[in-house]
Amino acid sequence: MKVCKFGGTSVASAEQIKKVAAIVGEDTKRKIVVVSAPGKRFNDDIKVTDLLIKLAEASLSTGETEKELQAVVDRYADIAKGLGLDEHIVNIIEEDLRGRLTINRDNRDLFVDQLKASGEDNNAKLIAAYFSSIGMEAEYVNPKEAGLIVSDEPGRARALPEAYENLSNLRDRKGIVVFPGFFGYSRDGVMMTFARGGSDITGSILAAAVNAELYENFTDVDSVFAANPKVVDSPVEIKRMTYREMRELSYAGFSVFHDEALMPAFQRSVPVCIKNTNNPSAEGTMIVAEREYSKSPVIGIAADGGFSTIYVSKYLMNRELGFGRRLLQILEDEYISYEHTPSGIDDLSVIVRSHQLTPEKEARIISRCREELLVDDVYVEHHFAMVVLVGEGMHNTRGLTARATTAISRVGANIEMINQGSSEVSLVFGIQEKDTESVLKELYKEFFSTSAVLGV
Amino acid sequence: MKVCKFGGTSVASAEQIKKVAAIVGEDTKRKIVVVSAPGKRFNDDIKVTDLLIKLAEASLSTGETEKELQAVVDRYADIAKGLGLDEHIVNIIEEDLRGRLTINRDNRDLFVDQLKASGEDNNAKLIAAYFSSIGMEAEYVNPKEAGLIVSDEPGRARALPEAYENLSNLRDRKGIVVFPGFFGYSRDGVMMTFARGGSDITGSILAAAVNAELYENFTDVDSVFAANPKVVDSPVEIKRMTYREMRELSYAGFSVFHDEALMPAFQRSVPVCIKNTNNPSAEGTMIVAEREYSKSPVIGIAADGGFSTIYVSKYLMNRELGFGRRLLQILEDEYISYEHTPSGIDDLSVIVRSHQLTPEKEARIISRCREELLVDDVYVEHHFAMVVLVGEGMHNTRGLTARATTAISRVGANIEMINQGSSEVSLVFGIQEKDTESVLKELYKEFFSTSAVLGV
């Protein structure tokens, strides 16, 4: 049995949904289909989820909602018409939305969440109706009925153990199950949404629960690439990578999808395949527990800008027990999380994402370093980038670090920071933001010099 | 005016002290001479300081001290005889020791300290007597009389600001000042010893106080070497290095002397020269504020074994604000200080010096990581070494890191950790202890491939 999840762009229009039906229909193992809300049909389009947020806000502010409500209904109507479905399903959806608008709005966030989740919920109903209309045996299944019980954490709910037990029963359903992504229900029966990437999370929970042989994540790219295609021309496609490698690449924003969403699948060792709705016959990228890496020790390279460094120095710092911990506490008091802390004998740097800093926070940090830590020097620098080299082979293959550092110096970039030693699967370089593109290109050339497809 | 300090081996015997006299006599600028207690005359010898510790312990335990007392007195007598001095000075020294043995012993540490410090004190008296006996105008100066006022921290006293004012008056003394190293007096008049390397500290305090043109540190090696001569054959001698470079090399135990001792000199920009009592015409090593480094960006390489790694991993660790800080707190609670903390997206390693760990501490740390931090995995590994590459040119010279990592992989060693990014002057590699010698040799070959003398 396979579980498939279709993202927003894959279910944004009638045309796309017909492709989905074809994909599901051609493989009888595709028994559970998780869908998102209709996404963007073209670049400047608005996702239905965003239309629902506007509807919620209109309701909470002025109470005047007809315009925003119609905007949502029209999208579904458009899809239904293109799929040859009659008005019935659109009426059901409109009634559902009007019902949600009358819900208790004392808890503002819950009110908004209920409306957001209707995007997935109603699209699942519509898609199930379409499947049935073309003769596929299919049914919409509601998460509450199916027992997708989650923790009481709105906007970041987690599936509870009983959810897996309940959902395993989906194996016994006769036809295709069409399941809305993004939300579950707390033990008290209150609807709870997942964090971003919600439909991915639903998909992997279901895949784990039914012990699927494969979890197929349908999106709008053929595969995960070894480097950002916007920077590197025609980067190789990754055919096979491990969970760990996916996780490390996501660090620098390798955002094909949200890797944390895959955790339930990872934990049950369900293989995941990234596929393209618009090119379903392409192999895609398999994400698995382990892979043979001797031929391709490095699987991908990712880079992300927007980092800053807080540098402190104090003579005999290394003799002051607790110095580093106290510096981290100062940052924690400002709700700043850190990425790396290279340290010397008399100095320490903390690398953080720049967006967490404001001029006021910087000033407070600097002042507390002076007054409480009695540092000799403290300053903050911006405009750094982190480049991460990822691969299961990195720990064992000598010379990789040497090749990487040589490549970086070839393009004249200065290495501001190196972090190696904790993860066995990645190596992080800090460079100046201005060098990001040239470094990424050169590292790609160094490690992927043929266009041979990787990771057999 | 120059300040000279002579270490234990340089003043261990009559023969050595004659060399000292010759060195001081040949340069009329050498006006202030700081001396240690008589050190080892040969490899298996016992330093006078250690004899004094035995004397103190005998006094504190049984009260029977004649044997231990005579052992100390005999050493001075031996020296005095070799220097052609009569018994008078030896009697003064014996009386002084007997007096110290009657001091209040309620404060055990202070009692021991007073006896330890007599080693320097009495040797200074003896040496001053010798200088005078051969016609050099010289006087013993007592630190209390000279106003070397220090903080109230036994065993780790620090000179207070008024000390520098007081000691600056030494400039006006007519002859040569012979000053005992290792101790000063608190504002309350209690004798306080410095930390290890005490005579080095006294020397640099005096050099700073009198604004000396040079502080000459006489020891038993010609210079500081670019790498450990016990591992690398005939390493180049460092002719000129900066304070920062000396400090960074000391990290991995480059222990020609105790670099922190030089801080007072560094702070006043007094140049320091390391010289050999047994070969005083050799240039030695100059330690200065800045140097021209374009020809020799790397000044030295040091390596030290005995490191351990505490590794923790937890999925989504990077999202848990405060995780790293809490781990450091656990170590701090065990009084363990750390060296480096390479960190990944879901894991963190803390590198510590192994001697701080005991099986009990390890067990507690592991258990607290599990119970309080809810880690997925935690373990401790031993037998690592840190290799540090030092040089003022490291920050600006591209390609150094690449050359270093290439060299390390050439000898088949795995790079377990890299720490670059805080200090501008050093790069630290973590390797397995077993690879230390081969890595050090190869890095030396890479960066010091001719025998040309460094650092013009």
Using CB atoms, which residue from B263, B321, B341 is nearest to A341?
Answer: B341
The region that residue A64 occupies, defined by phi over 0 for left and psi between -120 and 50 for alpha, beta otherwise, is beta
Q: How far apart are CA A20 and CA A35, in angstroms?
A: 10
**Which residues of chain A are within 8 Å of residue B328 when distances are taken between CB atoms?**
322, 324-325, 328
Query: Domain tally for chain A?
Result: 2
Using CB atoms, which residue from A345, A418, A419 is nearest to B247?
Answer: A345
Give the per-residue pLDDT at A72: 96
Q: How confident is the model at residue B253 (pLDDT cuts 50, 70, 90)?
A: low
Examine the pLDDT at B355 and tell me if it is beyond 70.
yes
Assess if residue B294 is contained within a domain: no
Q: How confident is the model at residue B365 (pLDDT cuts 50, 70, 90)?
A: very high
Examine the pLDDT at A116 and tell me if it is beyond 70.
yes
Whether residues A358 and A217 share a domain: the answer is no
CB contact under 8 A, B418 and A420: yes
Whether residues A263 and A364 share a domain: the answer is no
- Helix, strand, coil shares, percent, chain A, to 5: 45, 20, 35
Whether residues A313 and A284 share a domain: the answer is no
Cβ–Cβ < 8 Å for B82, B15: yes
Give the per-residue pLDDT at A455: 46
Give the per-residue pLDDT at A257: 59
Residue of A nearest to B337 (CA): A321
Assess if residue A295 is contained within a domain: no
Per residue, what are the HEC states of A283-311?
CCEEEECCCCCCCCCCCEEEEEEEEEEEE
- Out of A288, A310, A336, a domain closes at A288
The SS3 assignment for B47 reads coil
- Adjacent-strand bridge partners of A378: A312
pLDDT in tens, A398-440: 788 888 999 998 999 988 899 887 778 889 999 999 999 999 9
Q: How far apart are CA A289 and CA A277, in angstroms?
A: 24
pLDDT in tens, A356-393: 999 999 999 999 999 999 999 999 999 999 999 999 98
**Which residues of chain B are within 8 Å of residue A325 when distances are taken between CB atoms?**
325, 328-329, 332
pLDDT in tens, A42-75: 989 999 999 999 999 999 999 899 999 999 999 9
Using alpha carbons only, how large is chain B's radius of gyration in Å?
A: 25
Whether residues B125 and B221 share a domain: the answer is yes
Interface with chain B: mutation pick from A418, A425, A439, A442, highest number of B CBs within 10 Å: A418
Give mean pLDDT, residues B265-276: 91
Using CB atoms, which residue from A247, A319, A321 is nearest to B335?
Answer: A321
Whether residues A80 and A184 share a domain: the answer is yes
CB contact under 8 A, B408 and A402: yes
Examine the pLDDT at B256 and tell me if it is beyond 80.
no
Whether residues A109 and A207 share a domain: the answer is yes
Q: How far is CA B87 from the centre of its chain?
A: 35
Q: How far apart are CA A194 and CA A105, in angstroms?
A: 20
Give the per-residue pLDDT at B120: 96
Residue A341: CB atoms within 10 Å = 26
Instruction: Identify the top-confidence range among A10-24, A230-244, B279-293, B343-357.
Output: A10-24
Interface with chain B: mutation pick from A339, A398, A431, highest number of B CBs within 10 Å: A398
Distant-in-sequence, close-in-space partners of A172: CB < 8 Å, separation ≥ 6: none
How far B231 CA lies from chain A's nearest CA (Å)?
24
How far B243 CA lies from chain A's nearest CA (Å)?
12
Residue A81: CB atoms within 10 Å = 13
- Out of A288, A319, A334, a domain closes at A288
* CATH number where A433 lies: 3.30.2130.10
Cβ–Cβ < 8 Å for B178, B33: yes
Q: How far apart are CA A172 and CA A179, in angstroms?
A: 15
Assess if residue B58 is contained within a domain: yes
CA atoms within 13 A on the CB side of A130: 29
**Which residues of chain B are within 8 Å of residue A423 when distances are taken between CB atoms?**
344-347
Assess if residue B293 is contained within a domain: no
Give mean pLDDT, residues B316-335: 92
**Token digits for B48?**
């006078």
What secondary structure letter does DSSP report for B246?
H
Examine the pLDDT at B263 and tell me if it is beyond 70.
yes
Examine the pLDDT at B454 and tell me if it is beyond 60.
no
CA angle, residues A416, A425, B341, in degrees to nearest 5 = 50
Give the per-residue pLDDT at B249: 85
**DSSP H/E element including B209:** helix B198-209
pLDDT in tens, A74-99: 999 999 999 999 999 999 999 999 99
Q: How confident is the model at residue A450 (pLDDT cuts 50, 70, 90)?
A: low
* CATH number where A159 lies: 3.40.1160.10
**Which residues of chain B are within 8 Å of residue A339 when distances are taken between CB atoms?**
318, 343
pLDDT in tens, B46-68: 999 999 999 999 999 998 999 99
Q: How confident is the model at residue B456 (pLDDT cuts 50, 70, 90)?
A: very low
Examine the pLDDT at B453 and tell me if it is beyond 60.
no
Give mean pLDDT, residues B372-389: 95
Examine the pLDDT at B396 and tell me if it is beyond 90.
no
Whether residues B232 and B366 share a domain: the answer is no
Using CB atoms, which residue from A319, A341, A402 is nearest to B409?
Answer: A402
Give mean pLDDT, residues A24-48: 95
Using CB atoms, which residue from A324, A341, A415 is nearest to B401?
Answer: A415
How far B248 CA lies from chain A's nearest CA (Å)?
7
Predicted complex: ipTM over 0.85: no
Examine the pLDDT at B308 and tell me if it is beyond 70.
yes
Q: How far apart are CA B242 and CA B257, in angstroms?
A: 15
How far A257 CA lies from chain B's nearest CA (Å)?
16
- Out of B232, B254, B288, a domain closes at B288
Using CB atoms, which residue from B329, B395, B420 is nearest to A342?
Answer: B420
Structural domain span for residue A229 = 2-288
Give mean pLDDT, residues B6-28: 95
CB contact under 8 A, A418 and B418: yes
**Which residues of chain A are within 8 Å of residue B342 when distances are taken between CB atoms?**
340, 419-422
pLDDT in tens, B136-152: 999 999 999 999 999 98
Using CB atoms, which residue from B247, B396, B421 is nearest to A418?
Answer: B421
Examine the pLDDT at A456 and tell me if it is beyond 60.
no
Assess if residue B437 is contained within a domain: yes
How far B412 CA lies from chain A's nearest CA (Å)?
7
Give the per-residue pLDDT at B252: 64
Assess if residue B346 is contained within a domain: yes
Assess if residue A241 is contained within a domain: yes
